Amino acid sequence: CIFNSHIESSMVMHFDRDEEGVCYAIDLGGMDFRVLRVEIDVGSTAVINQRVETHAIPEELMGTSQDLFNFVALTLKNFVEREDGKDAQKPLGFTFSFPVRQNSVSSGSLIRWTKGFSVGDTVGKDVSQCLDEALARCGSNMRVTALVNDTVGTLALGHYYYKDTVAAVIIGAGTNACYIERIDAIIKSQGLPTNSGGMVVNMEWGNFWSSHLPRTPYDISLDDETQNRNDQGFEKMISGIYLGEIARLVLQRMAQESDIFGDGAESLSTPFILSTPYLAAICEDDSQDLSEVRRILQEHLKIPNAPLKTRRLVVKICDIVTHRAARLAAAGIVGILKKLGRDGSASAASSSGRMREQPKETVVAIEGSLYQEYPVFKEYLDEALVEILGEEVARTVTLRVMVDGPGTGAALMAAVHSSNRQQQGGGGGGTI
């Protein structure tokens, strides 16, 4: 089981589909961020309307916290004005996909940056407060109603559609998972009043480490290149920012030790030149002569004349890196199922008695570019789940893709929390 750094979200899931109205969300977790407007209706079985805009964060704004949050706040303000007018004041979900020490439903301080982010003065600060202050500076009426990790937003959306959702996993630029735990099983939360008796645990599994993980010299070299050395070891073997780079390090070594790439392999010494979308395109080239691999080698890596045999080797390496990542992610998911007694061991144990217990249906919400946009990765992950769980148990586990789960789920949580607060007379706290 893989629980090394628990950060409890103080939010307990309790959606009753009785929310209505318009809510907004900001989804910040990579070099692009999203603003969302989500409309929900009482009794509706779905979000009835949703608008999403994606914006790139200009590199020069990554210097100070104020620059970053000013930009995010201004983008939201302009979006809200276009959608609902200047004075609109709606619940706002803030999806912030970095490790946070959560203090309440709507506040939490950044523990450390991951995924190559490093805006020096944000660590230790309450990121909701940073955003609220930036919103006030630019004259917006909006304030953060709910602060959530992307896994938690995805879980919220998963739970909204499928009541059997017990966990959520993100496999995109970074990776992480969260799951619903019984409150009495969380030592530091004992005695905390909740409506549902459960609480979401944000595992931050990207930072999981164990000597059993198959760490190679390439993983060590990769770690040395990153700003967060010695952190996020599991993430660095699995997620989108890193897979292409691991393959590049292997290819670079091959170029140093043999002449398979001829003379023109200098570009292989440029860190991060082989991004994961290229790695995916290499693996998915099903042409007989591997023409797409040849094109990528020629145009992108400036390796002009790699023969078919070499191109096959390149495919093999990209495939091994993908396979390992997908299998590790599957092992992580099974770790959660095991913790929740959903891996079949409960029914196996009871099968020695007279009545064999039917395994429960389990839904795991999933989001992220690797699983959604890289079919080979998805195939390997799905295959590994069946291999580890066995066919019978695997049939009871469904991975459901939640498109825009991080942002939409955060907007829903903001709506629920804001209506809870109104019912309680405007106080803070409360459970979702």
Applying CB under 6 A, the residues found at the interface with ligand BGC are 29, 97-99, 114-115, 149-151, 170, 172, 174-176, 204, 206, 235
Alpha-carbon gap, residue 177 to 167, rounded angstroms: 7
In contact, 229 and 223? CB cutoff 8 Å? yes
Query: Which C-beta is closer to ligand BGC: that of 150 or that of 404?
Result: 150
Residue 410: closest CA among 16, 77, 28: 28
The pairing of strands 21-28 and 32-40 is: antiparallel
Q: CA 224, CA 234: separation in Å to the nearest integer?
A: 15
CB-based closest residue to ligand BGC: 174
SS (H, E, C) the chain: CCCCCCEECCCCCCCCCCCCEEEEEEEECCCEEEEEEEEECCCCCCCCEEEEEEEECCHHHHCCHHHHHHHHHHHHHHHHHHHHCCCCCCCEEEEECCCEEEEECCEEEECCCCCCCCCHHHCCCEHHHHHHHHHHHCCCCCCEEEEECHHHHHHHHHHHHCCCEEEEEEECCCEEEEEEEEHHHCHHHCCCCCCCCEEEEECCHHHCCCCCCCCCHHHHHHHHHCCCCCCCHHHHHHCHHHHHHHHHHHHHHHHHHCCCCCCCCHHHHCCCCCCHHHHHHHHCCCCCCCHHHHHHHHHHCCCCCCCHHHHHHHHHHHHHHHHHHHHHHHHHHHHHHHHCCCCCHHHHHHCCCCCCCCCCCEEEEEECHHHHHCHHHHHHHHHHHHHHHCHHHHCCEEEEECCCHHHHHHHHHHHHHHHHHHHCCCCCCCCC
Residue closer to ligand BGC by CB (options 207, 310) is 207
Token match 């195939």: residue?
379
Nearer CB in complex with ligand BGC: 176/362: 176
Q: Of 19 and 204, which CB lies nearer to ligand BGC in the complex structure?
A: 204
CB of 312 to ligand BGC, least distance (A): 33
Q: How far is the CB of 252 from ligand BGC (least distance, A)?
A: 25
User: For residues 13 and 250, which CB has a smaller minimum distance to ligand BGC in the complex?
Assistant: 13
Task: Output the smallest distance, CB 227 to ligand BGC, in A.
Answer: 12
CB of residue 124 to ligand BGC, shortest distance in Å? 16
- Of the pair 34, 421, the CB lying nearest ligand BGC is at 34
Distance in Å, CB of 354 to ligand BGC, minimum = 44
Q: Based on CB atoms, which residue is closest to ligand BGC, 19 or 150?
A: 150
Nearer to ligand BGC, 210 or 256 (CB): 210
Nearer to ligand BGC, 241 or 393 (CB): 241
CB of residue 165 vs ligand BGC: minimum separation in angstroms?
17
> Rounded to the nearest whole angstrom, what is the least distance from the CB of residue 121 to ligand BGC in the complex?
19
For ligand BGC, the closer of residues 181 and 235 by Cβ is 235
Work out how close the CB of 119 gets to ligand BGC at its nearest, in angstroms, rounded to a whole number: 15
